[in-house]
Amino acid sequence: MQVVRVMDRVFEVDGKLNIGDIVKAGDCLAVVVSVSGEEPEYMKYAGELSRDEIEAYMPDIVEKRVISKCYVLRGLGESFAPDIGDEVRAASDEEIREYHTRGGEFKIPYFYQLLKVDIDVAKNVLLRLKKVFEDEEIIDILLREIDYMLMFGRS
């Protein structure tokens, strides 16, 4: 899968990913925040033509595309995003560990921005981080806080 569009902290991938997955694109990590289908391009211009007629001459134009939207995980002051055409793949445990460790300490500088984007996605990220950083108490504390917010409707 490849990056097809970049907009500040968000980029789009041509292909289906799972919401909440942490992915690597270029030099950055991102989390998948939504997946949607796009109508085929021909619908805008079809007019009197039937789908069968268009498919006979341009079969690739009638296929429905799935677009995954990814939110770049970065802290304040960092300014990077992937380039259009960069390959997108699941981030490895080592890449996640390296990104979240500064000076030997666990860091999660993007957490509150991500919480504003989608509380359920933020929880999925924390659950993934828990698998990589099993002994980090702060992850457990943040998970309990999210559960509390969800329980009392503060999403």
* Tens digits of pLDDT across the chain (155 residues): 899 888 888 899 988 888 889 999 888 889 999 888 766 555 565 555 666 666 666 655 556 678 899 999 875 556 678 889 999 999 999 999 988 888 888 988 888 888 888 889 999 999 999 999 988 899 999 999 998 888 887 65
- CB burial of 9-32 (b: ≥16 within 10 Å; e: otherwise) equals bbbbbeeebeebbbbbbbebbbbb
Residue 89 sits at φ, ψ, to 5 deg, of -150, 165
Residue 116 has a pLDDT of: 86
This prediction's pTM: 0.74
Residue 104 has a pLDDT of: 86
Residue 79 has a pLDDT of: 60
Contact 5, 12 (CB under 8 A): yes
Contact 110, 75 (CB under 8 A): yes
Residue 80 has a pLDDT of: 76
Torsion of CA 84, 88, 93, 97, to 10 degrees: 10
- E strands, 15-152, are 22-25, 28-38, 65-72, 88-90, 101-102, 105-106
Alpha-carbon span 84 to 138, nearest angstrom: 35
CA nearest 132: which of 87, 88, 101? 101
Residue 125 has a pLDDT of: 92
